[in-house]
Amino acid sequence: MKMHATEIIAKKRDAERLSTDEICWIVNAFVSGKVPDYQMAAFSMAICIQGMHEEEVYALSMAMLESGTTLEWPTDTRPLIDKHSTGGVGDKVSLVLAPLLACCDLRVPMISGRGLGITGGTLDKLESIPGFRTDLSLAQMQQQVQDVGCTITGTSSQIAPADQRWYTLRDVTATVPSLALITSSIMCKKLAEGLDALVLDVKCGSGTSMQTAEDARRLASSMAHLGQKMGVTTSALISNMDQPLGKMLGNAVEVNEAVDILEGKGPDSVRAITIALGCEALLAAKIESETEAAKTRLASLLDSGQAREKFSNMVTSQGGDLDAPRKVAKSLVLCSKQSGFVHAIHAGTLGRSVVQLGGGRQTLGGAIDRSVGIELCVEVGDAVDAGQELVRIFASSPPEQPWIDTLYDAIEINPQSSKVPPLIIDRVTSDGHPIQD
Ligand code: URA
């Protein structure tokens, strides 16, 4: 039967269930260029608004996976494992975790993304390292994983090409927050890697797509079920994204913070979530059987500089120079107008502020400025005095007053001290909750 994009879009607009054939047809037609971006943008918005049933999410993920190839690996004693985050403001964990896990005799073929909506992207961050390449061929990627233990690279015309095209479109059409689209986008890449186990960091709060813990659990459960169904041991941590992760937000400045963590320094929150996700990976891969032993091993690899050395090897192997200076824009400081306690730092507003500085894209294929960003000088729960530094802004041109006012509003200061929310909220495995968008 001949299919038409407009009919499939209209069906989803009217909340009807799509058949597997219809889903496969539109994904393949998009990849081959028969369905243009404007129709795929309309289709994405219809999915965002109407959702998809579990069978549709499965069909969509499979169609996106089958748009490219699945990696096959030489037999090796080292398990294949990866971690992926649903995206959060200041989330630079992948940069640290890939080399850290490679130090534990795991192979990590990490396929990552660029900035998505208000959240920064691992590939954009890494490209602030002079020379670093995120477009490795399949052969280069596989060779590097065998030799170095890890790679962080992008989707391509060979691996999950449907996600490569769709991801950039979703970034600039406000169609990121959808359980169906996030599940299929993440899982098609991760299943294409040919993994033994997958660890997910599902963010929850104002700086990400899932605003409530319940929505985050449903997303985690959707991905964990799919992973299990496809024979990949999958678990997820649900973590707090009401305040940004760490102090640095932007591209080059986040690489700097990731290097600090790799040297055993840096903010406690970034180190803690990295180690928690690393423990999940070591237990899933049966490299360790006790959480405490896994934590100790990961912490000592950070503190001894071994993880930093592995990161440096990965960067060199991908053409980058970690010792070359990374460009960071001129800074200016905003000071507190009052004394009190930091009650909230709204991650969503800060993520949007970085995009507006030029750190993220606002149009398809738009250039980004990797040198801009924001450094938080305080975190939730801190006491502050009037006149104390609140944030440092790295900007290529002086920010306008409304932008500065919005930034001030994003950091709430109260007279009374506030409770610091937990960083890790929950853990979800494939026997979690039912899936329904
Ligand atoms: N990461 C992805 O790869 N895709 C999404 O949709 C969200 C986060």
Q: Do domains 5-51 and 81-323+424-428 have the same CATH topology?
A: no
pLDDT in tens, 324-375: 999 999 999 999 999 999 999 999 999 999 999 999 999 998 999 999 999 9
- 60 within ligand 1 shell (Cβ under 6 A): no
Over residues 183-188, the mean pLDDT reads 98
**Homologous superfamily, domain 331-414:** Pyrimidine nucleoside phosphorylase-like, C-terminal domain (3.90.1170.30)
Asked whether the whole model's pTM tops 0.85, one would answer yes
Copy the structure tokens of residue 336.
Answer: 């507190």
Where exactly are the structural domains of the chain?
5-51, 81-323+424-428, 331-414
Ligand 1 atom with least separation from CA of 182: 6
Phi, psi of 397 (to 5 degrees): -140, 155
Q: Would you list the DSSP string of 114-170?
A: --BTTB--HHHHHTTSTT------HHHHHHHHHHHSEEEEE--SSS-HHHHHHHHHH
- 238 within ligand 1 shell (Cβ under 6 A): no
Pocket-testing residue among 47, 57, 61, 86, ligand 1, by greatest number of atoms within 8 A of Cβ: 86
Q: What is the pLDDT of residue 383?
A: 97
| Whether residue 371 lies in the annotated active site | no
Left, alpha or beta for 160 (phi > 0: left; psi -120 to 50: alpha)? left
Ligand 1 atom with least separation from CA of 112: 3
CB 278 within 8 A of CB 432: no
pLDDT in tens, 401-427: 999 999 999 999 999 998 899 999 999
3-state secondary structure of 14: coil
Over residues 216-230, the mean pLDDT reads 96
Burial call 228-238: b when 16+ CB within 10 Å, e when fewer: bebebbbbbbb
Given 92, 114, 170, 190, the catalytic residue? 170
3-state secondary structure of 43: helix
pLDDT in tens, 36-59: 999 999 999 999 999 999 999 999
Q: What is the pLDDT of residue 430?
A: 80
∠ Cα 37 40 43 (to 5°): 155
Give the pLDDT band of residue 435 (cuts 50, 70, 90): very low
Is 5-51 CATH 1.20.970.10? yes
| Whether residue 84 lies in the annotated active site | yes
| Pick among 3.40.1030.10, 1.10.10.10, 1.10.490.10, 3.30.70.580: CATH of 81-323+424-428 | 3.40.1030.10
Q: Is the pLDDT of residue 205 over 90?
A: yes
pLDDT in tens, 68-116: 999 999 999 999 999 999 999 999 999 999 999 999 999 999 999 999 9
Ligand 1 atom with least separation from CA of 189: 3
Q: Give the residues across from 372 on adjacent strands.
A: none
- 86 within ligand 1 shell (Cβ under 6 A): yes
